[in-house]
Amino acid sequence: MPLPDTMTMLRELIAAPSISSTTPDWDQSNLAVIEHLHTWLEALGFNCEVMPVPGEPTKANLIATLGSGPGGLVLSGHTDTVPCDPQLWRSDPFKVEERDQRLYGLGTCDMKGFLALAVEAAKSFTDQPLKSPLIILATADEESSMSGARALVDAGRPKARAAVIGEPSSLKPVRMHKGMMMEAVRIEGRSGHSSDPSLGANALDAMQQVLNELAAFRSELQSRYHNSDFRVDVPTLNFGCIHGGDNPNRICGQCELEFDLRPLPGMSLEGLRDAISARLLPFGERFGVKLEARPLFPGIPAFETPASSELVNLAEKLTGHKAQAVAYGTEAPFLQQLGMDTIILGPGSIDQAHQPDEYLALDQIQPTIDILKQMITRYCL
Ligand SMILES: [Zn+2]
């Protein structure tokens, strides 16, 4: 089978819808995308393994390996996209349309485009023996639960010396991002007539103290942790929503708060959760209510690769840009947990990701292929 060219591969990847969402009605399988990559990479001589994602029969990761041995390089991209509003698009989100020197389509920059370019870069290395493996990794559910990346960590694979995640970074290397936690505090009191407080246990009174305590915790974190590489240079804690009670003349029987916490590199998710529980749980007893603090999802750890890393230095040399810190989360901390020197470096701008009329500028394509080929040469030849 002759292998399709870059544009054909991109068209086929975009035409295979693979939305992932925590809202079940929008969530789709990614198997069609995995199947395309599997076919192309197998034709190039890669050894392909489709790895099921536990508990999700319609999702899978692909680990495609060319060559063998220790060391090597992983080129990683997620196969899923966010949901879209087709009525806000100028063209069909699932059909690549070229206009104004740009390729429009859902996933062109975030980030099926990178996967097509990684396959394109790999084409130049199939007729020579590699000293170390080149691994193209395609993951599931990055935009929702990161269950694909979590499954890789559980499986302890893949392993290589270095990993490049091609999230849209305008071809500037990224070596740091914050983590993300979304947590809930639920307070169950007892309602009763407002005229006599002893008839119930007021969940809102307890929640008021919880808010104060969390605000104090936030101040402590912000005075303790600071990293000037980030535009917002402290950890943040945002009170996102609160729901509870029903009537002014009833003792509030139930109240729930949701907040988001974005730790800096060096702050562990478990450590933060333990600290939050230790500070909040005593309010349950004090107010005679049931108080529960729980994560809304497992969270994404903060990520940092040292400025002195070999991969950071190579990426800075190849791109002419100093590695930076960004405000979005990625699968990087998971690949790093597997022992790989990890950076984020990909075509297209994060400004176009998750937007109607998402596009990849044509002038990003050849430079991406060139950079990837030089990285493969460095790590695999
Ligand atoms: Zn992405």
pLDDT at 1: 62
- CA of 78 relative to ligand 1 center, distance in Å: 7
pLDDT at 214: 98
Query: Annotated catalytic, 143?
Result: no
pLDDT at 108: 98
Low-confidence ranges of the chain (pLDDT < 70): 1
* Burial of 21 (C-beta count, 10 Å sphere; 0-12/13-18/19+): middle
- CA of 275 relative to ligand 1 center, distance in Å: 31
pLDDT at 226: 97
Q: Quick check: 155 and 69 in contact, CB under 8 A?
A: no
pLDDT at 297: 93
pLDDT at 217: 98
Looking at 27, 56, 142, 341, which residue is catalytic?
142
Rg (C-alpha) for the chain, rounded Å, is 24
Encode pLDDT of 331-344 as tens digits: 999 999 999 999 99
* pTM score of the predicted model: 0.94
Encode pLDDT of 77-128 as tens digits: 999 999 999 999 999 999 999 999 999 999 999 999 999 999 999 999 999 9
Looking at 80, 141, 167, 341, which residue is catalytic?
80
* Burial of 159 (C-beta count, 10 Å sphere; 0-12/13-18/19+): middle
Residue 255 DSSP label:
E
User: Percentages helix, strand, coil for the chain, rounded to the nearest 5?
Assistant: 35, 25, 40
- CA of 167 relative to ligand 1 center, distance in Å: 5
- CA of 306 relative to ligand 1 center, distance in Å: 22
Return all residues near 370 (Cβ < 8 A) that are at least 6 apart: none
- CA of 109 relative to ligand 1 center, distance in Å: 8
pLDDT at 3: 87
Q: Quick check: 334 and 154 in contact, CB under 8 A?
A: no
DSSP β-bridge partners for residue 139: 78
What is residue 50's three-state secondary structure? strand
- CA of 318 relative to ligand 1 center, distance in Å: 22
- CA of 111 relative to ligand 1 center, distance in Å: 6
pLDDT at 2: 72
Return all residues near 71 (Cβ < 8 A) that are at least 6 apart: 131, 132, 133, 160, 161, 379
Rounded to whole angstroms, the Cα distance separating 123 from 83 reads 31
Query: Annotated catalytic, 142?
Result: yes
